[in-house]
Amino acid sequence: MPNNAFSVDALPDLSGKLYVVTGGNAGIGKMTVAGLASRGARIYMGARSAEKAEKVITDLKRELGNPHADIIFLKLDLTDFRSVVEAARELKSKETGLHGLINNAGIMGVPFSRTKDGYEIQFQTNYLSHWLFTYHLLPLLQSTALPQPGTARIVNVTSDGHERFTLKEGIRLDDPNLESESAMVRYGQSKLANILHTKQLNAVYGPKGKESGDEGGLAADILDRNLNKQATGMAPAAILRIVTPIMKCTGILDHEAKGALSSLFAIADPNFTESGAYIVPYAKIGKPSKMAENDLLAERLWEWTFKMFQEKGYL
């Protein structure tokens, strides 16, 4: 059961375990990396700038009082699909397994612009590129989970903006860039997509998923993180656990160290085992919007995303 008194010290020794955190060079992502490193884990910090990331890594080692903390920079530009695939390939060339993936990076409320791939920057950064990154890392996660089901987890970070700013149809698949809509509506659509992604991952790869079979399954949870309180969730699965943290779009952000607690709980607490749960601040089970529970929309979004990436040659 969720533990409202959860702290980093409650995590077990994570020596020998490997994690990836996107956007791990700043904010809650940085503190998530710090929490994992403090328990002995190896972490790849996904970020665009090597110079900035290496400085953060140096700072974290000093703050942790451990010059040997195993934190590794991974070049990852979420505004570039090619970079996303290359980052996943680099990981697969160096590692044979992966215990946890935290899709933490995100942007909010920025002016309209298209990436080099032609998609609205929030939709690509927050959703599309994380979908692609996750897809290419599934073999590593499954490799870890196969001998011991439930030991590999996925955490997707989302926001309460998925409900506050989403269109009545949820996801506009015939016009995903939403150029005529406001920046926050575009943001809300990307955050709803994070939850639907988690939902479909659980449906396909979860403990009872159609692709679990002899290889086990993924566990999917939805996490709620808000700009006041960050939350993260995780789910145990035959193979993977999947979650989506959510962020409130109003108020003052919690202290980053506190905000990282939900992500850490979701990705590494051995006592949380409810697959597919929606987690709100801090480490509590909540309930997403009605649209976020739409099975048909989750399937349609998955199919649209898969087909798009397949046609572009990224799968």
Buried residues in 4-19 as b, exposed as e (16+ CB within 10 A): eebebebbeebeebbb
State the Cα angle at 196 between 216 and 23, rounded to 5°.
85
Residue 128's closest CA among 183, 182, 83, 74? 83
Selecting among 17, 30, 191, 199, the annotated active-site residue is: 191
Q: Which long-range contacts (CB under 8 A, 24 or more apart) does 255-259 make?
A: 256/27, 256/28, 256/30, 256/31, 257/31, 257/34, 258/230, 258/282, 259/27, 259/28, 259/31, 259/225, 259/229, 259/230
Number of Cβ within a 10 Å radius of residue 152: 31
Selecting among 187, 205, 278, 282, the annotated active-site residue is: 187
The residue assigned the tokens 């988690």 is 198
Q: Residue 205: is the preceding peptide bond cis (ω within 30°)?
A: no
CA 273 to chain centre: 18
- Torsion of Cα atoms, 207 then 261 then 230 then 141, to 10°: -30
3-class DSSP state of 71: strand
Q: Is 191 a catalytic residue?
A: yes
Please check whether residue 155 is in contact with residue 231, taking contact to mean a CB–CB distance below 8 angstroms: no
Residue 292 has phi, psi (to 5 degrees) of -70, -15
Number of Cβ within a 10 Å radius of residue 270: 11
Known catalytic residues? 187, 191
